[in-house]
Structure 1
């Protein structure tokens, strides 16, 4: 027997065992803390619109992290092992089913006690996924893909302040149940946020009441709820997927629509390519501007948070639509 070879092997085996014990102890510790970071509830949000709700409503009683880092296009996010572990350690998960397939799958497998799907807190609707006006007939989902909501429903509810407010109320109630010791503060914070969103809704109603045209063209058909809420017509170059390419026939159709409806501007966004929008604008003699779907906040965002960016979007729409 080679004793010298056996000793390092035994040492290595011992090190592995110790490592496994450490991981096990860490996992046990995380499970034992009940999803808390000190005296704060550990909240994991899937992407920015959910993160904003958690931070605004949770306030000082929550520790919020997000699965989607700033600048990352959320639809095609793939989770790292560390993020999957983070979901298991969370005391509360807030996500929006239908936006991020990989996230939906990981959350379904998570051991977290409180998993809140924002899509269940309001009513989802069907909007055109091939562009077209936002007032599509219900059930128009033949172009649906896995990045959309249930049965092809449009998941972009946060771009309608009224629907976002409904979600905020539901999040507030769920946090009260998850952390009853701080229920009064969660209710107070929810009321404050709802008041801000009510003010934003009023600003949109008044700001878009009288316009030269009701039609706007955008690369990503994310604004169906917003268009429907304020009597506008969204014409998307792409569908609900910001990375999909329009057909030549769709481009020709948009050129005709732009001329007929007196469209002045083609909108693009901060997290996806602006190439198609700029090409269409150049070919039709239109201007370009940013209309942010608010899937993430970066240094390029026209504001520091949800409310500020939504106000920037309103100003851009007023300018493009000829608001009076």
Structure 2
């Protein structure tokens, strides 16, 4: 009996020590599932980040639940895209996570950024902006970062992806859809966590390197999978895929809606129908949370197919493997669109 009690006591001590070890790991909060996935990959085997904007919720207008507010309140580190995507989150971060290290990934050094497009029809010109002095040493090109445009919509829609007015030159916040940014952000995340938690610094950096290898392999497969549709233009429901298009060299022809926070005008719908016909568009990408009737209107009388896709990966399992699965899901939707 004594031995049993002693064993139980040792087990309790072991659990207590485990609890202490976990307690020493930084508490980390993230905004959206793609960022959560990258952070989870870096923290794999050490801890798990919290997610403030749950799957299926709009990043532009989500009302935080008490559990999500608590995640911010206890956070030692917050990784988020930035106010360009979730302007409503800026206030809660400054008040609830006032003592945390806050990292807006969109403006971190080495991130490649693109300007919001306002036009119905996209034109291929310009380059992604990036810092050549940092995070460009991966030696991998997911498809040539040279295909974006900055135009103004003729029907004068003046809402960006947050439903707010924006000025010419505003950054497109959907930067996670460029694999090069995923590669760069893994380094950023590992560096921040290593500084906050030196004891696990080696594991964070090893995880980041392993995650980068996974992204590189996924990007190579995606390039191969998209080869058969590279010359077939497609239309998106709202302009959220510019980074994916640019990174993989795809010919997106235009967007039905300027943003997911505003309905397209009749003039814009008429113009996008002309784009579908004139450019022989073969696919229209819909999104699960939007009115399928608009897509049907655009498709009416054409031979174009349709597929459902989501830039945040609604329906995909959050976690360390999320990011590469998200990129692959978008590629599969485009490649299989009928």
TM-score, L = length of structure 2: 0.74
Partners of 2:193 and 2:204 within 8 A in 1: yes
Question: Could you tell me which residue of structure 2 aligns to residue 129 of structure 1?
Answer: 118
Partners of 1:270 and 1:300 within 8 A in 2: no
Shift of 1:285: 4.4
Shift of 1:152: 1.8
Question: Could you tell me which residue of structure 2 aligns to residue 104 of structure 1?
Answer: 90
Partners of 2:55 and 2:314 within 8 A in 1: yes
Alignment partner for residue 58 of structure 2, among 64, 73, 98? 73
Q: Which structure has the highest helix share of the two?
A: 1
Question: Could you tell me which residue of structure 2 aligns to residue 254 of structure 1?
Answer: 272
Q: How many residues align?
A: 282
Question: Could you tell me which residue of structure 1 aligns to residue 78 of structure 2?
Answer: 93
TM-superposition CA deviations, 1:245-301 (whole Å, max 9, x none):
1122222222222122221221112343433123322353432211221x2432799
Distance 1:314-1:279 versus aligned 2 partners, 3 A rule: same
Question: Could you tell me which residue of structure 1 aligns to residue 261 of structure 2?
Answer: 243
Partners of 2:236 and 2:284 within 8 A in 1: yes
Shift of 1:138: 5.0
2:294 equivalent to 1:309: no
Instruction: Give the match's secondary structure for 2:35.
Output: helix
Distance 1:120-1:300 versus aligned 2 partners, 3 A rule: closer
Alignment partner for residue 193 of structure 1, among 203, 207, 211? 211
Question: Could you tell me which residue of structure 2 aligns to residue 292 of structure 1?
Answer: 310
* CA root-mean-square deviation: 2.9
Shift of 1:81: 4.9
Distance 1:70-1:134 versus aligned 2 partners, 3 A rule: farther
Q: Which is bigger in relative contact order (C-alpha 8 A, separation at least 6)? A: 2
Gaps of 5+ in 1: 1-35
Rg larger for: 1
Shift of 1:37: 5.7
TM-score, L = length of structure 1: 0.77
Shift of 1:38: 2.2
Question: Could you tell me which residue of structure 1 aligns to residue 294 of structure 2?
Answer: 276
Gaps of 5+ in 2: 1-20, 125-147
CA–CA distance in structure 2, aligned partners of residues 308 and 264 of structure 1? 24
Distance 1:145-1:317 versus aligned 2 partners, 3 A rule: closer
Instruction: Give the match's secondary structure for 2:117.
Output: coil
Question: Could you tell me which residue of structure 2 aligns to residue 17 of structure 1?
Answer: none
Shift of 1:126: 0.5
CA–CA distance in structure 1, aligned partners of residues 233 and 175 of structure 2? 20
